[in-house]
Amino acid sequence: MTAIWWIRRDLRLDDNRTLQAALEAGPIVPVYIFDPFFGAGSSNRRHRFLANGLRSLEVDLRQRGSYLVLRRGAPVEVLRQLLSESGAQVIYAEEDFSPYARKRDQAVAAQLPLKCIQGQLVHHPLGIHKSDDSPYTVYTPFSKVWKYLLPDDFGISIAPERFPTVPKIPSEPIPEYDQEKYFPVGEAQAQKRLESFVADKIFDYGIGRDFLYQDGTSSLSPYIHFGMLGLRTAVDRARQAILAAPDELSRKSAETWLNELIWREFYIHILYHYPHVREGSFRPQYHRIQWRNDPDEFDAWKNGLTGYPVVDAAMRQMLATGWMHNRARMIVASFLVKDLLIDWHWGERWFMQNLLDGDLAANNGGWQWTAGTGTDAAPYFRIFNPILQSKKFDPNGDYIRKWVPELAETESSAIHAPWQKNNQVPGYPAPIVDHKYARERALATYQHARS
């Protein structure tokens, strides 16, 4: 029986249950469809990363005697045409859990022989629930059940050396773009980065992940988002590191990284069960927050011109690389929402437009956590002080100097808040808001909304 392997967010050959199921059915037709739904509103940077990832996948397929078929259009129409052209009797696809993906797949399955295989997550959103069958909305009990349900052996598949493939199915050309400097594409690159992280950084991750000036994180999120790395593979390597840890501190560091992977899955489960978080706050009382939404201040934030060096460094890092350190994400999000009183939706959209790892669920969950509006969120009165955060996590200003060259010659003692020592740096703006005043204003605004 011939099968179409409909590739979506699983641009890999190993640890791919969907590909495995398709190969067990018979000859395959690997297909990627550029869906117009993801056209105008999608990030140009992610579009380029995806296209280069497809080109890398095409190379891997060619090495196994196969090839990639690329088409554009509404998935149901494209797949119907491909079934006719190839003589395939079944379509295999990795199950996706975003609101649009679920609606799309229901429409396709109603008309065509689609089989969705769970491989994007470790646990299906319907597989983790409380004793009354309701979903978890607090991370800690969710993570305990998540870990308890882990299988002893994932049985991670390795792709065969040759793929039986239906020949000569026409394909559109894959767009060509320059490669991302900081994130080379492809499954091999993702595996290389994972192994380097596990070998060199995971046992220091518990402490090193917070320091902005050092490369202490895995930086794997773009690869996980596009499925160049399977989440089960990442979890399996984390679990191996926990067992192999040389001491208690190292073990806790490896567990901390595993917990970060679980947070990602937690937010996907939340979006699955509570799709309204896509458009509004999980907690209804925060619908009433009276945002200031000053467009000039928002532009200053977007372009790294707030006058707060650590905020500006982080925003410029994202514009330059398509990625931002996780600690920096919390700092800039708190600054936008609490210091400037700008609706978290504005920041959420800007991140989605610029991050390579712009994942709907994780991005939404992170912003609602900082804004205090989400399921398992930071308290509304938790407001990061950007100066103290900068001093603590970039004590010598190395991160700031890298991304804010105007401050390259500023002394470490003054770099976190140049204006406090009357350092007027040519070309660098004064602070757009006083943090002490902004903090009191935010507290009053949130308290008013809660009342």
**What is the spatial distance between Cα 52 and Cα 407, in angstroms, rounded to a whole number?**
35
Residues 56 and 81 in one domain: yes
Exposure string of 86-100, with b = 16+ CB inside 10 Å and e = fewer, is bebebbbbbbbbbee
Residue written as token pair 């593979």: 233
Domain membership flag for residue 442: yes
Domain membership flag for residue 93: yes
Domain membership flag for residue 172: no
Domain membership flag for residue 112: yes
Residues 258 and 298 in one domain: no
Which residue range is the domain that position 197 belongs to?
125-154+189-273
Residues 326 and 218 in one domain: no
Say whether 344 is catalytic: yes
Residues 115 and 101 in one domain: yes
Residues 112 and 146 in one domain: no
Q: Which of 85, 180, 291, 423 is catalytic?
A: 291
- pLDDT reported for residue 330: 97
Q: Which of 326, 350, 385, 423 is catalytic?
A: 326
Domain membership flag for residue 147: yes
pLDDT digits (tens, 9 = 90+) for 337-393: 999 999 999 999 999 999 999 999 999 999 999 999 998 777 888 999 999 999 999
Q: Which two tokens stand for residue 5?
A: 């392997």
Residues 255 and 308 in one domain: no
Domain membership flag for residue 207: yes
Say whether 411 is catalytic: no
Residues 315 and 441 in one domain: yes
- Section 258-269 average pLDDT: 97
From residue 159, alpha-carbon distances to 4, 12, 153, 230 in Å are 17, 9, 18, 13
Length of the chain: 451
Which residues, at least 6 apart from 64, have a Cβ–Cβ distance to it below 8 Å?
Answer: 13, 159, 160, 161, 162, 163
Q: Which of 5, 146, 257, 263 is catalytic?
A: 263
- pLDDT reported for residue 257: 98
Q: Which of 53, 119, 118 is nearest to 357 (CA)?
A: 53
Q: How many domains does the chain have?
A: 3
- pLDDT reported for residue 255: 98
Residues 138 and 213 in one domain: yes
Residues 81 and 203 in one domain: no
Q: Which of 5, 6, 257, 344 is catalytic?
A: 344
- Among 120, 145, 176, the domain boundary falls at 120
Ramachandran sector of residue 23 (left: φ over 0; alpha: ψ -120 to 50; beta: rest)? alpha
- Among 254, 273, 292, the domain boundary falls at 273
Say whether 257 is catalytic: no
Q: Which of 6, 367, 369, 403 is catalytic?
A: 367
Domain membership flag for residue 66: yes
Query: What's the predicted TM-score (pTM) here?
Result: 0.95
Q: What is the CATH number of the domain that holds 372?
A: 1.10.579.10
pLDDT digits (tens, 9 = 90+) for 58-114: 999 999 999 999 999 999 999 999 999 999 999 999 999 999 999 999 999 999 999
Residues 323 and 251 in one domain: no
Residues 268 and 325 in one domain: no
**What is the spatial distance between Cα 272 and Cα 191, in angstroms, rounded to a whole number?**
28
Q: Which of 85, 180, 259, 260 is catalytic?
A: 260
- Among 273, 292, 326, the domain boundary falls at 273
Domain membership flag for residue 133: yes
Say whether 195 is catalytic: no
Q: What is the CATH number of the domain that holds 114?
A: 3.40.50.620
Q: What is the CATH number of the domain that holds 135?
A: 1.25.40.80
**What is the spatial distance between Cα 171 and Cα 67, in angstroms, rounded to a whole number?**
10
Say whether 291 is catalytic: yes
- pLDDT reported for residue 378: 73
Residues 219 and 300 in one domain: no
pLDDT digits (tens, 9 = 90+) for 300-316: 999 999 999 999 999 99
Residue 421: pLDDT above 80?
no
Say whether 367 is catalytic: yes
Are 5 and 31 in contact by the 8 Å Cβ rule? The answer is yes
Which residues, at least 6 apart from 414, have a Cβ–Cβ distance to it below 8 Å?
Answer: 420, 421, 423
Are 194 and 187 in contact by the 8 Å Cβ rule? The answer is no
